[in-house]
Amino acid sequence: MRQSQLFTKTRREDPKDEVAANAKLLIRAGFINKELAGVYSYLPLGLRVLNKIKNIIREEMNALGGVELEMTALQNPELYEKTGRWSDEAVDNWFKTSLKTGTELGLGFTHEEMITELMKNHISSYKDLPIYAYQIQTKFRNEQRAKSGVMRGREFPMKDLYSFNDSEGSLNDFYDQVKGAYERIFEQVGLGDRTYITFASGGSFSKYSHEFQTLSEAGEDTIFVCEEKKFAINKEVMDEETLSELGIKPEELKEKKSIEVGNIFKLGTKFSEPLGLTFTDENGEKRPVVMGSYGIGPARVMGTVAEVLSDEKGLVWPRSIAPFLLHLIWIPGEGEMGAEVADRLYDELTSCGVEVFYDDRMASAGEKFATADLLGIPYRVVVSDKTLKEEKFELKERSTGKVRLIDINEMKALCGGE
Amino acid sequence: MRQSQLFTKTRREDPKDEVAANAKLLIRAGFINKELAGVYSYLPLGLRVLNKIKNIIREEMNALGGVELEMTALQNPELYEKTGRWSDEAVDNWFKTSLKTGTELGLGFTHEEMITELMKNHISSYKDLPIYAYQIQTKFRNEQRAKSGVMRGREFPMKDLYSFNDSEGSLNDFYDQVKGAYERIFEQVGLGDRTYITFASGGSFSKYSHEFQTLSEAGEDTIFVCEEKKFAINKEVMDEETLSELGIKPEELKEKKSIEVGNIFKLGTKFSEPLGLTFTDENGEKRPVVMGSYGIGPARVMGTVAEVLSDEKGLVWPRSIAPFLLHLIWIPGEGEMGAEVADRLYDELTSCGVEVFYDDRMASAGEKFATADLLGIPYRVVVSDKTLKEEKFELKERSTGKVRLIDINEMKALCGGE
């Protein structure tokens, strides 16, 4: 894409009404636009990042045998009355609205009730199980505070996977597979080395659930990390009982702030019983379906990457989720040669399928470099009078700052070497 | 995809609470699930169709120079107060909700206000124009009646494109380009021959807007069609003045029922003036930006295809938007040969990139064929004891019902011949 065709402008100053680093940076760089506190639109560059994160998640969900669907935001109160989650006392972050007839509706903060009800049309026998279904869809949560940028939105995309099994044993097997898929997802988006699977409160069915927590001073959670065994314990379940069960000593743990980037939860029959989702087993007996639910917020992942990988100059995207792989910068010079070479390089790389963001604007080198650092595209390639003389291109890696001169073949190898 | 892995089941009976043919068929076939009147979830097969329609639209928007973004459903009332569209008297289909603080918010039925405000951060000079930005995002409309299935939802996906120009002349040029893009979109989704560009009411800025109307008895609109000149006039602007302006005689027109599948609208400065979206022109003078807006509802397109192309046996998808290209049906027979051949064919075609839905279930030929007809995948391929003997596959085209025997090479040619 040519930069002259992108309508978004970067800003020199941080927005005054944001405290979170992710929101400041993403707004300054033109990745998101603040509509209301906790409500952000995704501008073209931000949408590209978000879609890449969604696709990494989608591929792992498909590999688990997950089938994608898309449920609605508008929710039927009757279902939530059956599970005791309709009242504002039970759930403190409902957004509610109403039909012209006056009937109240909810805006989904989650979809356990809806998918449990939906599955009643499709599950009757043990032969129908297991079923793994997921969506990547917009959730609404009426947060009291919304000061963490895209890490805690009032409207945000979420991947929610639901599992339907015939027994606790097969739920447990699938649950372990999801753990592996989540580890691969956080590895791929560039958060693997600082993300810890974390024992957390399990709710009514299971002793523990598992969270995936990324270390960051900007986090709202407190965890106790065991670096040697690469796991953590959420403060909420940090007691002698947990320590003894996990066979771990307090001195092996370090207290840290962290961001919850994912969670997985054994629901058991918590939803299938009140909503009547049953199946007939091999002996002809009716039993409630055994469920699990598994969430990741793609926008929170984006915000977390912005929090933990950026530097004083701006954003730093890992290659896997960068809006473009390569930021091609033409520095206006003496003749027309520079623009021609840059145009040709842009066409050549684009036709090879390389995602190039091409700064074809009339602007100074200083301004272009500062913008490039702010946007955080992994590789910056400069075409200028100086590089033309040397018959090479100048390549700078955003994450390390390393600069070197390369020729066209090295460039292609770099782009294809993903 | 193997049919045994898809959780959705088809139904023999029409749902009792639906009147629209599209909803009856799409629910019976397991493409959608009704959550509330006018509120439908997209099940895996339906989501595949919807995504294909979205991608056809997306490609045409990109070809127009459109840049994709994604705005939020939650809307700031302040913007609508400036344009006079906040009160329920002015707009009769608002869904409203509120923050914990009591502040009222809207759920977007459209996004003119939001995008106009957003562009104030990015437009200052004539050099920033033109800008074409679009999204494919979920709209909420609190319809009094919601009896037309996915053709008139209370929550539905919409593609909305907005144009920002420096003059009426350049708006007009772009508007004509959008007309062409829309014609190509309706052609590609299989509605081209029955969709008419239609003169409709233009609002405050322009005499006419244009709708794209697809002929159907299920439509809520009435239009007067001139078949020779391939355009129509909406009943709402059908008077002597319109006829004389368009140079057409009443006897050239036929009254028809139709479904509005798209509309394009010159907004002029209707939104830029009250919201203060201006630019500085070449002479240093501040002027309001000249806007247009252009909508298509992908779910309504899906519903319209279901209405007009289906037959008494079920859905009939055009190749371009079918959930799969080929429905491979294995008929359980005497030995294991049939299953082996079908498995191999499935693997082979899938690895060539052909989208195959493979009925690998233990079920009778009659049941499998009835399901295939209901789902409406373009090509049905049967592997049975009978076809094995003939060393061929039986191919049936869903739209024509034509059956013939083909070999593997013919099959590959058919699949690759898109």
Q: How far apart are CA B250 and CA B266, in angstroms?
A: 27
For residue A319, tell me if it sits in a domain.
no
**Which residue, B309, B340, B368, sits at the end of a domain?**
B309
**pLDDT tens figures, A72-117:** 999 999 999 999 999 999 999 999 999 999 999 999 999 999 999 9
- CB contact A75 to B (< 8 Å): yes
Q: CB neighbours of A241 closer than 8 A, spacing ≥ 6?
A: none
Q: Which chain B residues are Cβ-neighbours of A123 within 8 angstroms?
A: 7
**Is residue A302 located within the same domain as residue A348?**
no
Tell me whether A32 touches chain B (CB under 8 Å). no
pLDDT, mean of residues B191-219? 94
- CA separation for the pair A359, A329 (Å, rounded): 5
B307-346 pLDDT per residue, tens: 999 999 999 999 999 999 999 999 998 888 889 999 999 9
| Phi-psi label, residue A291: left if phi above 0, alpha if psi -120 to 50, beta otherwise | beta
Residues A261 and A391 placed together within one structural domain of the fold: no
pLDDT confidence tier of residue B418, bands split at 50, 70 and 90: very low
CB contact under 8 A, B72 and A118: no
Distance of CA B380 to the CA centre of its chain: 25
Same-domain status, B70 and B192: yes
Write the residue in B6, B39, B43 that is nearest to A74 by C-beta.
Answer: B39
Is A383:A329 a contact under the CB 8 Å cutoff? Answer: yes
Residue B274, φ and ψ in degrees, nearest 5: -65, -30
Return the pLDDT at B416.
76
The predicted-structure confidence for B85-101, as pLDDT tens digits, reads as follows 999 999 999 999 999 99
DSSP H/E element including A290: strand A290-296
Cβ atoms B132, B65 nearer than 8 A: yes
pLDDT at A411 (0 to 100): 86
Say whether A68 and B47 touch across the interface (CB within 8 A): yes
State whether B136 and B214 are in the same domain. yes
A321 in any annotated domain: no
* B314 in any annotated domain: no
- Domain end (from A252, A277, A309): A309
pLDDT digits (tens, 9 = 90+) for B217-269: 999 999 999 999 999 999 999 999 999 999 999 999 999 999 999 999 999 99
Confirm whether A72 is domain-assigned: yes
> Do B249 and B335 sit in the same domain of this protein?
no
Q: Do B69 and A44 touch (CB under 8 A)?
A: yes
Question: Block means of pLDDT (10 residues each) for chain A, length 418 residues?
Answer: 95 94 98 97 98 98 98 98 96 96 96 98 97 98 93 97 98 98 98 97 88 96 96 96 94 97 97 98 98 98 98 98 97 89 94 94 95 98 91 94 91 73
Q: What is the mean pLDDT of residues B63-83?
A: 98
- From chain A, the residues in CB contact with B95 under 8 A are 97-98
d(CA A46, CA A35): 15
Contact state of B122 with A9 under an 8 Å Cβ cutoff: yes
Is residue A214 within 8 Å of A223, Cβ to Cβ? no
**Do residue B70 and residue A123 have CB atoms under 8 angstroms apart?**
no
**Dihedral over Cα of B172, B178, B180, B186: its sign:** negative
The total number of structural domains in chain A stands at 2
Of B35, B43, B67, nearest to A74 by CB-CB distance is B35
State yes or no: cis peptide before A130, omega within 30 of 0: yes
Report the SS3 class of residue A221.
Answer: strand
Among A309, A341, A373, the domain-final residue is A309
Q: Which region, left, alpha or beta, applies to residue B251 given φ > 0 means left and ψ of -120 to 50 means alpha?
A: alpha
- Please spell the DSSP secondary structure of A36-65, one letter per residue: ETTEEEE-HHHHHHHHHHHHHHHHHHHHTT
Domain containing B22: what range?
Answer: 3-309
User: Which candidate, B36, B216, B383, B277, places its Cα nearest to that of A105?
Assistant: B36
Residue of B nearest to A157 (CA): B72
Please answer yes or no on whether B69 and A118 come within 8 Å at the CB atom: no
* Contact status of B36 with chain A (Cβ, < 8 Å): yes
What is the percent of chain B where pLDDT is above 70? Answer: 100
pLDDT of residue A417: 52
Which residues 116-175 on chain B approach chain A with CB closer than 8 angstroms? Answer: 118-119, 121-123, 128, 131, 133, 138, 140, 142, 144, 154-155
pLDDT, tens digit, for every residue of B126-144?
999 999 999 999 999 999 9
CATH at B360: 3.40.50.800
* Residue A317: inside a domain: no
pLDDT at A119: 98
CA distance A396 to chain B (A): 27
Q: Which residues of B touch A104 (CB under 8 A)?
A: none
**Which residue does chain B place closest to A64, by CA atoms?**
B5
Answer yes or no: do A334 and A367 share one domain. yes
Strands (DSSP E) contained in A124-242 are 131-140, 155-165, 195-201, 208-215, 221-226, 231-234
B303 plus B330 within the same structural domain: no
Residue B232 has φ and ψ, to the nearest 5°, of: -145, 170
pLDDT exceeds 60 at position B47? yes
A363 and A264 assigned to the same domain = no
Å from A212 to nearest chain B CA? 27
